[in-house]
Amino acid sequence: MSDTLRATNVHLRPYRPEDLDTICMVWWRAWHSAFPGVDHPQAFEQWHARLRDVLIPQGTTWVAEMAGRVAGFLLLTDGGSYLSQLFVDPDVQRQGIGALLLDRAKVLSPAGLTLGTAQRNLAARRFYERHGFHVVATGVGGIIPQANVTYRWDPPPP
């Protein structure tokens, strides 16, 4: 069964300001689940402020709700061409929520998408590759100076 079919009880909707605390917690939990034993260099409060003051005002944010609670979110920046954030709460991962969010990002970005992730985040890399993204660059950078990989998705030709 595909990821999308398993996530039939998920509702996608645009972000609302009252979602901020919850999506920040989803990010925090998902990031630390992906990198156990590694402390993020920004405290929760710093990340909260960055989402509120920088990322959300610059982009488009969508939320996935499941059973009445926020289960994940996506955030597009750079005019919708960069997938800045896509996180699903660890308690509900591998149920198709990430695939639904990624499908929404593709619809919102018909000219294609670019994103970056840590090279060592193998689960995320497999997810993006399974959904049609290909590696276009590697390097070091970001908030955490670690090896990163840049991915690109281009829509199929008409």
Structure tokens at 13: 């909707």
CA 71 and chain centroid, separation? 12
Give the model confidence (pLDDT) of 6-64 as tens digits: 556 899 999 999 999 999 999 999 988 888 877 777 788 988 999 999 999 999 999 99
pLDDT on residue 4: 41
* Beta-sheet pairing, 146-153 with 60-66: unpaired
Burial of residue 41 (number of CB atoms within 10 Å: 0-12, 13-18, 19+): exposed
Q: What is the pLDDT of residue 21?
A: 96
Look at 135 and 35; give whichever has higher pLDDT: 135
pLDDT over 70 at 113, yes or no: yes
How far is 84 from 89, CA to CA, in rounded Å? 17
Give the pLDDT confidence score for residue 6 in this predicted structure. 54
Domains of the chain: 3-110 (3.40.630.30)
pLDDT of residue 114: 96
Residue 67 has pLDDT above 90, yes or no: no
Strand partners, 10: 66
Three-state SS at 85: strand
The reply to whether the predicted model has a pTM over 0.85 is yes
Write out pLDDT tens, residues 117-133: 988 889 999 999 999 99
Higher-confidence residue of 115 and 42: namely: 115
CB 61 within 8 A of CB 13: no
Closest CA to 46 of 57, 55, 38: 55
